[in-house]
């Protein structure tokens, strides 16, 4: 009976703990946006409205907090990319919309992007609940390409490997652009969209498909 009472009291506080964790994650995001990817714990605590010593009562150290922030941000970016990939139209329009969404987010949140880049390889592969931004983009794009390959009666096996390479190319170009801004965003979007299509077109050719960037796709 006493054990059940203790369990009940502990469970009763779960919503409060989740709210506090989310508040600290949100505060960390604000601190990173304002102070850069190496924002200090004290700055995070200030935005969260808690003493500095309270930050790690809800996380098992700095790395755990960094991973939680990365997962939260990657999920938000994934939602934006998923919406862009839901664009109806030709392959050219869908690719352009997704690349534009990716670059627009980076332009809006440069320090968050730099933070994600720092932690891109820190996420345990076995932990499906966390992901870096590139993994999110690759997963969304792979799912879409596999969907259309199935509708076209083609093998889907090469899609994941090819899309991971596509996202790596887009991400590397975006990282360069963020630091140098050598061309307008619209120009980079067009250039990357063309490059992505050429890779997809080549993949289709190896699968025996004749693809057209402006063809009408099935819903």
Q: Using an 8 Å Cβ cutoff, are 136 and 170 in contact?
A: no
CATH assignment at residue 168: 1.10.357.10
36/87 same-domain check = no
Task: Identify whether the C-beta of residue 83 lies closer than 8 Å to the C-beta of residue 209.
Answer: no
Residue linked to tokens 């862009």: 84
Q: Are residues 43 and 82 in the same domain?
A: no
Of 16, 36, 59, which closes a domain? 59
Domain that holds residue 38: 1-59
Write out the two tokens for 45.
């605590």
- Render pLDDT for 4-43 as a digit per residue (tens, 0 to 9): 554 555 565 567 788 889 999 999 999 999 999 999 999 9
Calculate the average pLDDT of the chain: 87
Q: Above pLDDT 70, what percent of the chain?
A: 87
CATH code, domain carrying 47? 1.10.10
pLDDT digits (tens, 9 = 90+) for 113-166: 999 888 764 444 444 444 566 777 788 889 989 999 999 899 999 999 999 999
The answer to whether 131 touches 123, Cβ cutoff 8 Å, is yes
Please check whether residues 77 and 176 belong to one and the same domain. yes
Cα–Cα distance for residue pair 148/28, rounded to 1 Å: 39
Q: Does an H or E element contain 136, and which?
A: helix 133-151
- For residue 51, is it within any domain? yes
* pTM assigned to the model: 0.84
Residue 172 shares a structural domain with residue 85: yes
Reading the block at residue 191, the tokens are: 């250039």
Same domain, 123 and 175: yes
The residue whose two tokens read 């990357």 is 192
């Amino acid at each position: 009976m006493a054990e059940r009472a203790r369990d009940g009291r502990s469970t009763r506080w779960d919503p409060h703990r989740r709210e506090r964790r989310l508040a600290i994650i949100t505060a960390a995001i604000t601190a990173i946006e304002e102070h850069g990817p190496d924002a200090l714990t004290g700055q995070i605590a200030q935005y969260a409205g808690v003493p500095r010593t309270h930050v790690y009562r809800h996380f098992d150290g700095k790395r755990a907090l960094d991973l939680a922030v990365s997962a939260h941000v990657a999920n938000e970016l994934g939602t934006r990319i998923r919406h862009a990939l839901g664009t109806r139209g030709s392959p050219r329009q869908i690719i352009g919309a997704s690349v534009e969404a990716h670059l627009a987010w980076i332009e809006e949140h440069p320090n968050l992007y730099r933070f994600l880049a720092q932690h891109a390889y820190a996420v345990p592969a076995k932990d499906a609940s966390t992901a870096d931004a590139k993994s999110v983009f690759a997963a969304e794009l792979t799912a879409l390409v596999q969907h259309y390959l199935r509708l076209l009666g083609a093998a889907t096996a090469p899609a994941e490997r090819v899309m991971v390479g596509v996202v790596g190319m887009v991400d590397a170009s975006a990282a360069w652009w963020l630091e140098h801004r050598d061309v307008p965003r619209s120009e980079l979007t067009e250039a990357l969209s063309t490059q992505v299509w050429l890779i997809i077109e080549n993949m289709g050719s190896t699968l025996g498909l004749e693809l057209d960037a402006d063809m009408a796709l099935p819903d």
